[in-house]
Structure 1
Amino acid sequence: MDRGGAMEAAVFHNAKEDEHMDAQTFAAGKMKMIQPQSMKDPKLDKLKEVLLDWINTSLKAEHIVVQSVEEDLYDGLVLHHLLARLAGVHLTLEEMALTPSAQIHKLEAVLEELDKSLDQQDTKWDVSLIHKKDLLATLHLLVAMVTRFQPEVELPSDVKVQVVVLEVSRTGIRSDVQTEVLTEASGLNSQEVSNRRDNNDPMEDLLKMEADKVKQAVLDFVNKTMASVGLQVLDLDKQFSDGVILLLLIGQLEGFFIPLSDFSLTPHSHEDMLRNVSLALNLLADLGLQVSAVQAQDVVSQDVAATLKVLYALFRKHGGGCKQEVEGKASCDHSCHS
């Protein structure tokens, strides 16, 4: 829809004066700009605050502190570290990209890998937008990352902004005001997250019961299995976070040996632990044991629910998975105790 001269003139003037919006970009055809009124929306401020806290929590061990989602992601450094920590993808790139060309090169490599992991049909960001500190594109990217890698993070629901869409042609400038959805009204980020938290997930059902009873049943199963190799688990919350006992447990239960060259037996860094747990989750997937909504970072960060989900998948398959036994509601058949 065409908008009148005063509005177009104001938007055109603002676009020309934006230090990140050069003439070549403006002439490229189409762009989006968040309207000033939407920038004052408390729900948008809350979304930015939650995303900022999520980034800083994720990267705390690496002593990276981000102060602004608008200003601090353009050079690729933060996204590079998030990619490694959350997706377990380690790219050989320079730590600090100081020139614009180096920053763009780094962003291209990082976003290519992120897009593979996010697997979205219609991305609302690209290298150019992120490098130019486009807030709308940056928010879309971060929300997608939270949804994919850590869906348990509660983002503010129903966050929308009004945007001016400018389209430049030979005959002039067309502008339209549209509503852009950043998070869904349901409070979930997408239908995919809803599916991941489906009520039919056995571990979700178990976690509604007494936590101590569930943990004790799984702990007994683990220690019975690991007794043959002289290992004992006393703290289920912490002892699986580096992935070592988890990998040994999988090997014992499935009857195969995992070469020491494939994982770190004495992990010293967060990256070592993340690689170990990622390998364990990949092995479970190869064995047909799908663990819903669990990422390697969840286990490494000692997320109890995530760790229990992983262990319960093995618990159910290998003779310890009698749900009645865990609940204490009925006796189990012989197979549950073999």
Structure 2
Amino acid sequence: MEADIFEYHKDNPVDVESFQGEKRKLIQPTSSKDPKLEKLKQALVDWINKTLKPEHIVVQSLEEDLYDGLVLHHLLCRFTNVQLPVEEIALTSTSQTRKLEVILEELDKKLGLQDSSQIKWNIKLIHNKDLLATIHLLVAMVRCFQPELELPSNVKVEVVEVEVSSSGIKSCLQIEILTEDSTTGSDSLSNTEREDPIEQLLKLEAHKVNTVKKAILHFVNQNMSNMGLQVHDMDRQFADGVILLLLIGQLEDFFIPLYEFNLTPVSHSEMLHNVTLALDLLNAIGFQMSTVDPQDIVSQDVTATLKVLYALFKKHKGKGERTDA
């Protein structure tokens, strides 16, 4: 068993003294190149880069790019609209750990993790570029903030749990589960649960559908009122893409230059351009709109229109109330 640890340190130097008195899990070299692990790492990198593309933040390595708190802070702000009193760029080790302390405290609250035994990361591990802890944190964030995103399932790694004390080093091999099997456990979903929520909605009684549509319409009008715009017919008024683009800009707090779209579209091609731009913007900032065809919205397809509006409503449903307060 000791030979396993020495083999690990030969390929992956670790400061053993830095976690004396603690238990720490280290991914075995045989698992570190596992194709499933590599696929999960790439999926998380892609998710981060897609989410933070509007902020021009690009992550290349989970091990090297998340330890100082900058990326985690921007992800937290993007999904929760929480603004934390931390410096944008922390240059020293002390300021980085202080920043991580504030961010992880807020993240743990948002993730609903009150039981410390559920938390598989901490300030020290993240700051020390611990890959296992970083992946556990990011997977938890995806599950909480963007549960519709499919991550590679059934990803497991072999780890050696090391405990360093004054009497020596104790270790044991374990299997660490990073994502559950897609057919069992917490990741399993029935066909009904996997179905798009809007498609489920439209199968309900007409009065229930109308109740949800009214709630979304109220949300839209609350956020468009300061622009002097009012939506009365949800099925028709989003077909040319103009109100949709203005709504996205209003909710996501950015200005879309007027030369980028047609403010008064008259032709089908101009409407299609507007709607395509709107969906591209949503995909760029982390919404999963790849299943929505721009042509369907232009054609006044109620399902396609509701999918887009519901995604915005789900993320920003409290924004109108806060603005009016």
Aligned residues of 1:238 and 1:302 also touching (Cα < 8 A)? no
Matched, 1:18 2:16: no
Structure 1 residues 100 and 306 mapped into 2: Cα distance closer, same or farther (>3 Å)? same
After superposition, residues 257-296 of structure 1 pair within 5 angstroms as 267-268=253-254
In 2, Cα distance between equivalents of 1:108 and 1:204: 41
- Asked if 1:175 is matched to 2:174, the reply is no
- Could you state the TM-score of these two structures normalised by the residue count of structure 1? 0.62
Structure 1 residues 267, 165: closer, same or farther in 2, change over 3 A? closer
Q: Identify which of 192, 198, 201 aligns with 2:193.
A: 198
CA shift for structure 1 position 44? 0.6
* 1:307 aligned residue: 309
Partner of 1:235: 238
Give me the whole-angstrom Cα distance separating, in 2, the residues matched to 1:184 and 1:84: 27
User: Aligned residue for 1:131?
Assistant: 127
Alpha-carbon shift at residue 102 of structure 1 (Å): 0.6
Within 2, Cα distance between the matches of 1:238 and 1:35? 53
Alignment match, 2:22? 29
Deviations 1:253-305 (A, max 9, x none): xxxxxxxxxxx7995469xxxxxxxxxxxxxxxxxxxxxxxxx9999948462
**Quick one: which of 37, 44, 55 aligns to 1:44?**
37
Is the 1:8–1:173 contact (alpha carbons within 8 Å) kept by the matching residues of 2?
no
- In structure 2, do the counterparts of structure 1 residues 171 and 309 end up closer, same or farther at CA, with 3 Å as the change threshold? closer
Q: Unaligned stretches of 5+ in structure 1?
A: 246-263, 271-295, 313-338
**Distance of 1:309 and 1:198 partners within structure 2:** 17
Q: TM-score, normalised by structure 2?
A: 0.64
1:308 offset after TM fit, Å?
Answer: 3.4
**Percent identity of paired positions between Structure 1 and Structure 2:** 46
Confirm or deny that 1:70 pairs with 2:84: no
| 8 A contact 1:157–1:188 mirrored in 2 | no
Aligned-partner Cα distance in 2 for 1:8–1:299: 42
C-alpha change, 1:78 and 1:187, in structure 2 (3 Å) is farther
Match of 1:283 in 2: none
Q: 1:187 to 1:80 in 2, by over 3 A?
A: farther
Specify whether residues 124 and 29 from structure 1 end up closer, same or farther in structure 2 by C-alpha distance, changes over 3 A only: same
* CA distance in structure 2 between the partners assigned to 1:136 and 1:161 by the alignment: 9
Task: Output the CA distance in 1 between the equivalents of 2:89 and 2:160.
Answer: 34
Q: Matches of 2:152 and 2:182 in 1, distance apart?
A: 10
What's the CA shift string for 1:18-47, capped at 9, x where partnerless?
Answer: 25x35232x223111000111111111110
Tell me, yes or no, if structure 1 residue 6 matches structure 2 residue 10.
Answer: no
CA root-mean-square deviation: 4.3
- Encode CA deviations 1:225-256: one digit per residue, 9 max, x unaligned: 97x986236227774576699xxxxxxxxxxx
Deviation at 1:92, TM superposition (A): 2.3
- Tell me the distance in 2 between the aligned counterparts of 1:113 and 1:205: 33
Letter of the 2:193 counterpart: D
The runs of 5 or more residues in structure 2 that have no matched partner are 257-281, 290-305, 315-325
Q: Separation in 2 of the partners of 1:64 and 1:165?
A: 34
Corresponding residue for residue 326 of structure 1: none
Q: Is the 8 A contact 1:199 1:205 kept in 2?
A: no
How far apart in 2 are the matches of 1:56 and 1:299? 9
Partners of 2:48 and 2:254 in 1: how far apart?
Answer: 23
Deviation at 1:203, TM superposition (A): 3.0
Of 71, 79, 82, the residue aligned with 1:86 is: 79
- Matched to 1:146, the amino acid is V
Distance 1:311 1:118, change over 3 A: closer
SS of the residue corresponding to residue 21 of structure 2 reads coil
The DSSP-based 3-state class of the residue aligned with 1:70 is: helix
Name the count of aligned residue pairs. 253
* Corresponding residue SS for 2:161: strand
